[in-house]
């Protein structure tokens, strides 16, 4: 039995942050009912068409959910929405500012009617403050938190290669919901939860924020090298393969110099005797390492690193990651159905003994008729609410 079996989540969601949170809940057994606009649905369905014609974002974020297509501007759609809300344990939304309130589903409205409800709002910049009405997309938040200024090379800033602000907010919405469900089990009291993309990512840049406040200057940009630990970054072996090494403490540094570089005197060099000094003399450290590494084939280099108990990794492409031997050996891949055919997907990283749910990715409105029937409505009386994804695309 999965831990969230019996929990119903109603989600008025789109894009990444809220769908990421609710997919984690679905993975753990919750029933997630996703409300979508007729004809177009969640606009993440149109982000790309790389997965058998489906969006990679949507396939990633929406497995194991039920999709109901509702025209929320219609009287019928509004009535169905509120019936669903009455039955839900958790209501999640990342609509635009004020939209939930206009639907009668603000946290205040919902919890005035039923204090046991858990209402989760994912916002961009927070529901109050000077930017409450301002649009927030992932890269905008990466920029405003200073993350983009930390990422890249000395000459060029770069964004993170995944939707990190959305993911951060989604994970806090997920963990906040779990905490609220735990408290409700003990006290019967629900919760009003708000997570903003900006504040979620602000927490994730906490270390460079403390560093900057303390040092009076922010860490530099060093590409794939660590900004405040050295040596910690990629180096090329003699056969052209790139190996990333990570030195975390002084005993590791000493072993690295003795066993890997086979130059124990480097560990005692006054320029390199602490991490702070190695960072200050990064170019000199890198020059010593490069001289040794470029004379060694990868197999010999990795053998020395393993003997010295130094952490190292190959700098993989995504294609290489997909074929990673650890994923294969640990049986992490499963097949998930989509309307265009099955796709391979990873089991979620939370392993609780019972295997996570890996249900189909729903087509738009896939469950509209079944849910309407369950609520006591005749689907034939709600023709404006029932549109398949195929109809929407044709």
User: Which residue ranges form the domains of the chain, and what is each CATH number?
Assistant: 8-205+330-393 (3.40.50.10540), 232-314 (3.30.1540.10)
Task: Write down the catalytic residue from 76, 78, 82, 226.
Answer: 226
Q: 385 pLDDT exceeds 70?
A: no
Q: 386 pLDDT exceeds 70?
A: no
Tens digits of per-residue pLDDT, 24-70? 999 999 999 999 999 999 999 999 999 999 999 999 999 999 999 99
Query: Mean of the pLDDT values across residues 83-91?
Result: 98
Q: 394 pLDDT exceeds 50?
A: no
3-class secondary structure, 115: coil
Q: Give the whole-number percent of the chain exceeding pLDDT 70.
A: 97
pTM: 0.90
pLDDT of 384 reads: 57
pLDDT of 390 reads: 43
Q: What does residue 271 show for φ and ψ, rounded to 5 degrees?
A: -75, -15
Tens digits of per-residue pLDDT, 106-126? 999 999 999 999 999 999 999
DSSP 258: I
Q: Please give the Cα distance from 245 to 253 (Å, whole number).
A: 11
To the query of whether residue 390 is one of the catalytic residues in this protein, the response is no
Query: Mean of the pLDDT values across residues 176-197?
Result: 98
Q: Please give the Cα distance from 253 to 267 (Å, whole number).
A: 7
For residue 62, say if its preceding peptide bond is cis, omega within 30 degrees of 0: no
- The count of other CB atoms within 10 Å of the CB of residue 90 is 26
pLDDT class of 381 with cuts at 50, 70, 90: confident
pLDDT of 380 reads: 83
Residue 194: its H or E element: strand 191-196
Check if the beta carbon of residue 19 is closer than 8 Å to that of residue 122.
Answer: no
Q: What does residue 138 show for φ and ψ, rounded to 5 degrees?
A: -50, -50
What is the residue-averaged pLDDT of the chain? 94
Tens digits of per-residue pLDDT, 218-239? 998 989 999 889 999 999 999 9
DSSP 231: S
Buried b (16+ CB within 10 A) or exposed e, 328-349: eeeeeeeebebbbeebebebbe
Nearest Cα neighbor of 138 from 98, 99, 168, 100 is 168
Tens digits of per-residue pLDDT, 320-342? 999 999 999 999 999 999 999 99
């Amino acid at each position: 039995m999965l831990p969230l079996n019996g929990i119903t989540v109603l989600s008025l969601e789109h894009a990444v942050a809220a769908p990421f949170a609710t997919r984690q809940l679905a993975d753990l057994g919750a029933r997630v009912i996703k409300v979508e606009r007729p004809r177009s649905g969640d606009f993440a369905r149109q982000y790309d068409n790389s997965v058998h014609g489906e969006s990679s974002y949507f396939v990633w974020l929406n497995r194991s959910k039920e999709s109901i297509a509702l025209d929320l501007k219609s009287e019928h759609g509004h009535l169905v929405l509120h019936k669903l809300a009455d039955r839900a344990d958790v209501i999640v939304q990342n609509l635009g500012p004020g939209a939930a309130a206009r639907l009668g589903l603000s946290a205040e409205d919902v919890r005035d009617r039923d204090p046991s409800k858990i209402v989760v709002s994912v916002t961009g910049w927070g529901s109050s403050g000077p930017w409450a009405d301002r649009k927030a997309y992932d890269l905008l938040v990466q920029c405003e938190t200073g993350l983009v200024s930390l990422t890249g090379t000395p000459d060029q800033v770069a964004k993170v290669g995944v939707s990190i602000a959305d993911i951060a907010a989604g994970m806090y919405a997920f963990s906040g919901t779990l905490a609220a469900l735990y408290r409700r089990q003990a006290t019967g009291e629900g919760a009003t939860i708000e997570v903003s993309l900006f504040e979620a990512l602000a927490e994730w840049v906490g270390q460079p924020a403390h560093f900057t406040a303390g040092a009076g200057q922010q860490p530099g940009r060093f590409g794939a090298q660590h900004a405040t630990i050295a040596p910690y970054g990629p180096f090329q072996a003699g056969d052209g393969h790139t190996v990333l090494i990570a030195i975390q403490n002084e005993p590791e540094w000493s072993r690295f110099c003795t066993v890997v570089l086979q130059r124990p005197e480097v560990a005692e060099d006054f320029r390199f005797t602490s991490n702070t000094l190695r960072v200050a003399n990064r170019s000199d450290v890198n020059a010593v390492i490069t001289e040794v590494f470029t004379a060694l084939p990868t197999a010999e280099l990795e053998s020395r690193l393993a003997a010295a108990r130094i952490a190292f990794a190959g700098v993989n492409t995504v294609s290489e990651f997909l074929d990673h031997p650890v994923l294969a050996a640990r049986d992490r891949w499963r097949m998930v159905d989509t309307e265009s055919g099955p796709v391979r997907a990873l089991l979620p990283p939370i392993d609780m003994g019972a295997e996570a749910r890996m249900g189909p990715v729903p087509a738009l409105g896939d469950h509209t008729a079944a849910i309407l029937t369950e609520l006591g409505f005749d689907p034939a009386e709600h023709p404006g609410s029932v549109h398949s994804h195929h109809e929407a695309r044709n």
